[in-house]
Chain A
């Protein structure tokens, strides 16, 4: 940074080149197109040939490394001692770790290996074999990662590709897809991932896992309350079981479409690893899969949504419900009627595109109730 002096304004002095003496550059918007820059690029390449990454100051190189996922950071430490120091820097690792399963999955050709296995002997044993392989890989990965990154506050995980491949292959073999996939997600990916992690937040970036790993279930005492009481419950903390794969450090799980926050609970009142979902937010950019249905929107005890926000949320849910009814005629009508009773027509008919999604974020408490069709 030392050599990067900030510009200072100066008036044209006698010794300087006066602006008006120069042919003024035509830089009107239409003067340059991408095609025209090819010539610029050619000249640039010739003139810039001597510039290498060694000319990049540390703070910029750190910015480059920020885009590395955790595995890449480990791999590239071998470039030089300087890189090793920077890639191991607490500045990079202290708070957030990005783990790109997708990249590693592709690089290691696990899909190819899996397909070979399945093609040769498409049996349960082969699938188990693959799971074992996965298990080995993920355990190694998590062991290595979290011995070094155990201070990470948040883990960002991208894990679409492996799951899609596994799902497709399981479907192909006509297995019990949902169950199998869920087992794989829990046992082969997430549990090993969290084995040494003390991260409080787990963020699945654009992951297909969503409902697969959100095995949040309503605890017994709330179940016992019955459906009829749902819409009447106010200022009531809803008890959810913590997903079995989430270790005790995890307080919040984000899955793009929803955020689950676990609040610590009194030891005396709950069983092992249960927590309250204090804030389960849906952005609802896409419909939940597997017929999951948002059945009710309830006020959290610590939060009072504004009327406007609340209306938006309800409108959002209604839109979703209306779509669902087509698939399950009659099934939702009763619940829907309860919920829509007090909603003005103009809000209930509001299009999704008109709903102010940003205002929904962290705005209220929802109850997610899984209904398996």
Chain B
């Protein structure tokens, strides 16, 4: 079953075309199909600046901020989406916003991002650096979904964030948000 799927994917994106070489922070070199590489707007921009005729030689695009371990992970995403994403007409701003708020993260992407939070953050950083908007958005949404379900105290603990409010300041904010908490604010609570 998975073989068939892989085969199908292969047929979709294994068309002969330019190969783009990129190197990671550690200097490891990867050779990418042009379509895959150009999902990064940074790589696309550089290739366009240089003229595509130069892309087939031994030039290597150094991705100086991306570590190999993260790049390998991102490549999985890039290759899947290069093979499966349809060319979409640009969405109207309205549709984009509604999609952002209301559409669930696709199942494949959910599985892809079903990793440690630290890894998601690293993917997010790399996607931002490589300017892969869709992946960056997926990471941001995933992190937001995680944060939504955590209490303030849990978030502080998870990320080692210090509570830098004075008790008076904290109480003031607590009063302002008491209406949207399940339980009424406890007097003199100290977190």
Contacts from A to B (Cβ < 8 Å): 3-12, 16-17, 19-20, 22, 24-25, 27-30, 32-37, 40-41, 43-45, 47-57, 60, 63-69, 71-72, 74-81, 83-84, 96, 98, 100, 103-104, 107-109, 137, 140-141, 144, 156, 158, 203, 205-206, 254, 256, 358, 361
Give A107 Cβ to nearest chain B Cβ, in Å. Answer: 7
Contact status A76-B147, CB under 8 Å = yes
Which residue on A lies nearest to B161, using beta carbons? A80
**What is the bound-complex CA distance between A256 and B102, given in angstroms?**
12
**What is the bound-complex CA distance between A104 and B180, given in angstroms?**
8
User: Could you list some 8 contacts between A and B, CB below 8 A?
Assistant: A6-B42, A7-B65, A51-B121, A66-B100, A72-B148, A74-B180, A78-B152, A107-B182
User: Which A residues touch B132, using CB under 8 A?
Assistant: none
User: Which A residues touch B59, using CB under 8 A?
Assistant: 9, 11
Given contacts A50-B118, A74-B176, A75-B181, contact A29 B102 (CB under 8 A): no
Contact of A156 among B2, B97, B111, B164 (CB under 8 A): B97
> Secondary structure at chain B's binding surface: helix, strand, loop or mixed?
helix
Contact status B148-A103, CB under 8 Å = yes
**What is the bound-complex CA distance between A102 and B133, given in angstroms?**
27
User: Which B residues touch A32, using CB under 8 A?
Assistant: 75-76, 79
**What is the bound-complex CA distance between A34 and B108, given in angstroms?**
9
User: Which A residues touch B136, using CB under 8 A?
Assistant: 60, 63
Given contacts A37-B73, A45-B116, contact A141 B121 (CB under 8 A): no
**What is the bound-complex CA distance between A104 and B6, given in angstroms?**
41
Give B101 Cβ to nearest chain A Cβ, in Å. Answer: 5
Contact of B182 among A41, A67, A108, A256 (CB under 8 A): A108
B27 sits at the interface (CB 8 A)? yes
Contact of A10 among B60, B82, B165, B170 (CB under 8 A): B60
B28 sits at the interface (CB 8 A)? yes
Contact of A79 among B72, B92, B97, B161 (CB under 8 A): B161
B59-72 near A? 1/0 per residue, CB < 8 Å? 11111110001101
User: Which B residues touch A205, using CB under 8 A?
Assistant: 98, 101-102
Give A61 Cβ to nearest chain B Cβ, in Å. Answer: 9
Given contacts A30-B9, A79-B155, contact A141 B65 (CB under 8 A): no
Given contacts A19-B21, A34-B111, contact A156 B148 (CB under 8 A): no
Given contacts A19-B29, A37-B76, A60-B124, contact A52 B159 (CB under 8 A): yes
Give A6 Cβ to nearest chain B Cβ, in Å. Answer: 6
Among all A-B residue pairs, the 10 with the closest Cβ atoms: A67-B144, A140-B179, A48-B118, A45-B116, A51-B118, A19-B29, A30-B6, A53-B159, A205-B102, A63-B140
User: Which B residues touch A7, using CB under 8 A?
Assistant: 42, 46, 61-65
Contact of A40 among B9, B72, B170 (CB under 8 A): B72
Give A137 Cβ to nearest chain B Cβ, in Å. Answer: 8
Contact status B112-A34, CB under 8 Å = yes
User: Which A residues touch B108, using CB under 8 A?
Assistant: 34
**What is the bound-complex CA distance between A25 and B182, given in angstroms?**
52
User: Which A residues touch B179, using CB under 8 A?
Assistant: 137, 140-141, 144
Contact status B161-A40, CB under 8 Å = no
Contact status A29-B156, CB under 8 Å = no
B154-191 near A? 1/0 per residue, CB < 8 Å? 01101111111100001001101101111000000000
**What is the bound-complex CA distance between A75 and B63, given in angstroms?**
38
**What is the bound-complex CA distance between A83 and B147, given in angstroms?**
12
